A and B are shown apart, each in its own frame.
Chain A
Amino acid sequence: MTGDPLQGFPSPSFPSYPLGRNPSFSDLLRGASQATGAPSQPSGSAGPDLRVPHGTTVLALKFTDGVVMAGDRRAVEGFSIADERIDKVFPADDHSAVAIAGAAGQATEIVRLFQTELEHYEKVEGDRLSLEGKANRLAQMIRGNFPMALQGLVVVPLFAGYDERHSEGRIFRYDVTGGRWEETDYHATGSGASPARGTLKKRWRHGMDKPAAIRAAVEALYDASQEDAATGGPDTLRSIFPSVKTITASGVLPVAEQEVREAFEAIVETTREARRQAGGSQAREAEPPRSAERR
């Protein structure tokens, strides 16, 4: 007449949770896989030749109502393009989203686990985690992936959400060891991160409105695609545009493709206009070799 009264139901791997119930889904999952004898993380080295799809540039920037999060659509396997329409920005729950650069398979799995983790917590506790709590939980999950990162399956996310308790958008960045830092204005991660950050540095303004923030995000990704082979640029012919989401008090909402297309076309038009105004100056710049010949 002893033992677990609720045998047959899954239970977390740490029954010795200090007091009360453990609201963590990943602990529950670990307990269940231990019970079924499923392998945990593989050992050994994958080596540098392991070819798996890698997602590339993602970014987030704050605007008046919250955060705009965007990612290019390309995944690469070594030097070839694995996917041209991959989405790297995922809603984590109603008020937060995670964008991931790195090994695509590993990344989507971490996102799925993170989504379930937040949902599970909310149902067990009857209350949502704070944004800080969500960011910390994600850090622990990235730290948990560290053995895989050592084998080449690096996953580096960007986490952003609308903090309902402080009524503001917040951005968190991570490193491969699970280090977590909060960004004040904007951040980009992935292979094209540095040109994207360069653009955001020039374009970001305090108190930007939504269209301006979307335009800055699209421009940053466009610039990244010009500098980095692994980042895909907008493709008007096949209608491939960056995936952009806004995170505000009203939730995580995808920005319509038409809006992204218009932002991109506005950038193209501005660039074209600037070149037109510069007029012959660029043509003249091409002349020096001839004058050098004359000498």
Chain B
Amino acid sequence: MAFQPYVPPEQLIKDRSEYARKGIARGRSVVALAVDIGLLFLAENPSATLHKISEIYDRIAFAGVGRYSEFEDLRISGVRLADLRGYSYGREDVTAKTIANAYAQALSTIFTQQLKPFEVEILVGQIG
């Protein structure tokens, strides 16, 4: 059996969040503003093929910064959840609250249980 040194949980969490923060700090920012006709998501994006801002559902949008492959995974999971909800129940039953809660759960599980936390910060916005 491999010898595992004792690391206090406080230290573990601190190290992980520091690691994640460093990763996120390298990315370019996204801004979200509430404007008179709805929400404005603005991102600095040097790539034409990688999307930082995307549609999740009729009135719900997503934006992410940090490691692309990680927030892209989150984005697609959000689209899957929204489409499945909308198909199984109704289009009006898809809310940003449901999606945000699912993201919170997933990110928390990843942060504590995976080898490496996700180096991402995400935004979910809904109008109406």
Interface residues of A (CB under 8 A from B): 1, 3, 5-11, 21, 25, 28-29, 32, 112-113, 116, 119-120, 123-124, 126
Contact B76–A1 (Cβ < 8 Å): no
Tell yes or no: B96 within 8 A of A by CB: no
Contacts of A120 in B (CB 8 A): 79-80, 83
Tell yes or no: B13 within 8 A of A by CB: no
Please name the residue on chain B nearest to A21 by beta carbon.
Answer: B76
Given the contacts A123-B55, A124-B76, A126-B51, A5 and B83 also touching, CB distance less than 8 Å: no
The smallest C-beta distance from B44 to any residue of chain A, in angstroms, reads 18
Contacts of A1 in B (CB 8 A): 113-115
Please name the residue on chain B nearest to A122 by beta carbon.
Answer: B55
Contact B76–A5 (Cβ < 8 Å): no
27 A-B pairs with CB atoms under 8 Å apart are A1-B113, A5-B106, A5-B114, A6-B77, A6-B110, A8-B106, A8-B109, A9-B80, A9-B81, A9-B102, A10-B80, A10-B81, A11-B80, A21-B76, A28-B80, A112-B87, A113-B87, A116-B83, A119-B83, A120-B79, A120-B80, A120-B83, A123-B54, A123-B56, A123-B79, A123-B83, A124-B76
Given the contacts A5-B114, A124-B79, A29 and B84 also touching, CB distance less than 8 Å: yes
> In the complex, what distance in Å separates the CA atom of A276 from the CA atom of B113?
86
Among B78, B80, B106, B113, find the residue whose CB has the most chain A CB atoms closer than 10 A: B80
Contacts of A5 in B (CB 8 A): 73, 106, 109-110, 114, 118
> In the complex, what distance in Å separates the CA atom of A6 from the CA atom of B51?
20
Contact B79–A6 (Cβ < 8 Å): no
Contacts of B73 in A (CB 8 A): 5-6
Tell yes or no: B86 within 8 A of A by CB: yes
Tell yes or no: B74 within 8 A of A by CB: yes
Contact B77–A9 (Cβ < 8 Å): yes
The smallest C-beta distance from B94 to any residue of chain A, in angstroms, reads 12
Contacts of A32 in B (CB 8 A): 84
Number of interface residues of B (CB under 8 A): 25
Contact B114–A9 (Cβ < 8 Å): no
Given the contacts A8-B102, A124-B79, A25 and B87 also touching, CB distance less than 8 Å: yes
Contact of A6 among B54, B55, B74, B83 (CB under 8 A): B74
> In the complex, what distance in Å separates the CA atom of A127 from the CA atom of B77?
17
> In the complex, what distance in Å separates the CA atom of A9 from the CA atom of B51?
21
> In the complex, what distance in Å separates the CA atom of A8 from the CA atom of B106?
7
Among B73, B77, B118, find the residue whose CB has the most chain A CB atoms closer than 10 A: B77
Q: What are the 6 tightest A-B residue pairs by CB atom distance, in nearest-first order?
A: A9-B77, A123-B79, A120-B83, A6-B77, A116-B87, A5-B110
Contact of A28 among B84, B109, B113 (CB under 8 A): B84
Contact B56–A7 (Cβ < 8 Å): no
Contacts of B54 in A (CB 8 A): 123, 126
> In the complex, what distance in Å separates the CA atom of A5 from the CA atom of B103?
11
The smallest C-beta distance from A128 to any residue of chain B, in angstroms, reads 13
Please name the residue on chain A nearest to B72 by beta carbon.
Answer: A21
Contact A7–B83 (Cβ < 8 Å): no
Contact A8–B84 (Cβ < 8 Å): no
> In the complex, what distance in Å separates the CA atom of A84 from the CA atom of B110?
55
The smallest C-beta distance from B99 to any residue of chain A, in angstroms, reads 10
Please name the residue on chain B nearest to A11 by beta carbon.
Answer: B80
> In the complex, what distance in Å separates the CA atom of A29 from the CA atom of B86?
12
> In the complex, what distance in Å separates the CA atom of A123 from the CA atom of B114?
28
Please name the residue on chain B nearest to A126 by beta carbon.
Answer: B51
The smallest C-beta distance from B8 to any residue of chain A, in angstroms, reads 18
Contacts of A7 in B (CB 8 A): 106, 109
Given contact pairs A120-B79, A123-B54, a sample of 18 additional A-B residue pairs in the complex whose CB atoms are under 8 Å apart:
A5-B106, A6-B73, A6-B74, A6-B110, A7-B106, A8-B105, A8-B109, A9-B80, A9-B106, A11-B80, A21-B76, A25-B87, A28-B80, A32-B84, A116-B87, A119-B83, A123-B56, A126-B51
